[in-house]
Structure 1
Amino acid sequence: MTTTQTETPKRGTVTFDRTYPATLEEVWELWTTKDGFESWWGPEGFSVKVHELDARPGGLLRYDMIASAPEQIAFMKQAGMPLATPSSLTYTELTPQSRLAYRHAVDFIPGVAPYNVSSVVELRAEGGNVRMTVTIDTMHSEEWTKRTSMGWESQLRKLDKRFQR
């Protein structure tokens, strides 16, 4: 397994690159099924409960992000944020086992007007591995872009552990 993170502030995106000893089908399922998504989404110390997953362009993914570890619970309380936050994303593109894109509603930050960020996930078979590249929009501030990047690294560690062989 390899991993790199590249920040490109001038373009307004952050890219995460991973290579896993897996099949395209295995990785695709993690992004497009309730069980798959719930098994890894969210930073460490958080879990998710999926309420709706309609994996097609225009389809919705609605879920709750739930702080479950003591450190995350304390952080959320200190930040004045609820322990469980409803979240949603709208799929904008799906090419099976190759590419998906979505818009994620950012409506959970106190004092910040809601807005959307876009993300693109690209999967490529490379020998017996799958290379996964995730490109996300930056957030409204450097601080929140850093928090989001740390959150992505944390949730991707869940996938790293899943695919360790």
Structure 2
Amino acid sequence: MTTEPRKATIEQDYPATPERVWELWTTASGIERWWAPDGFEVRVDHLDLRPGGTLTYTMTATGPDQVAFMEGAGLPLSTTSTKTFTIVEPHSRLAYTTLADFIPGVTPYEFLTEVELTPRDGGVHVTMTVDEMHDEEWTQRLVGGRQNELANLGKLVGQS
């Protein structure tokens, strides 16, 4: 018997078109501008935007607090992550699995992220749904990181 993973949902409104948010979410230059939480940088290594295609990127801790946290937790300062796209519906839906293979002492596993862009008067509503991770601490890290990333996206679209 297989059970469905529990989900966490994050929602945010932006004063931008779905097309603009889609561009920032699905191009290397867009992803590199906002994807990382504060104190980290992202470099896109590979991007093949289609169902079955992959995004591979390297995230590096650059802020002093983040470097200290990573070192204190026994985690590398840079990690390379791969996401595999499962849904690509331009300007409206994007879904991808992430391989969590960077957690010391935990057998690697995949978790799903789903993103929906809904046009609203004066902007777009983003709903991000993520599978919960293997424990509450890592789920909270995931949700906190994604909330920070969405805040960074908001700062970026506020400039455009």
Q: Residue 74 of structure 2: which of 69, 80, 88 is its match? A: 80
Provide the rounded CA distance (Å) in 2 between the counterparts of 1:159 and 1:50.
17
Question: Is structure 2 residue 10 aligned with structure 1 residue 16?
Answer: yes
> 1:73-112 CA deviation, whole Å, 9 max, x = no partner?
0011011111000100000011110001000010011110
Distance between the aligned counterparts of 1:66 and 1:126, measured in 2?
35
Amino acid at match of 1:136: V
Count the aligned residue pairs: 156
Gaps of 5+ in 2: none
Match among 128, 136, 144 for residue 142 of structure 1: 136
Q: In the alignment, does 2:152 pair up with 1:158? A: yes
Task: Determine the structure 2 residue equivalent to 1:51.
Answer: 45
One-letter amino acid of the structure 1 residue matched with residue 100 of structure 2:
V
Shift of 1:11: 6.3
The amino acid across from 1:144 in the alignment is W
Task: Give the one of 55, 64, 67 matched to 2:58.
Answer: 64
**Higher relative contact order at CA 8 Å, sep ≥6: structure 1 or structure 2?**
2
Deviation of 1:163 after TM superposition, in Å, equals: 2.9
Matching residue within 115, 124, 134 for 1:130 = 124
Is 1:114 matched with 2:108? yes
Hey, what's the Cα distance between the residues in 2 that align with 1:54 and 1:34? Answer: 10
Query: Cα RMSD between the aligned structures?
Result: 1.3
Gaps of 5+ in 1: 1-9
TM-score by length of 1: 0.91
Which runs of 4 or more aligned residues in structure 1 lie more than 2 Å from their structure 2 counterparts after TM superposition?
Answer: none
**Alpha-carbon distance, 1:52 to partner:** 0.3
1:37 aligns with 2:31: yes
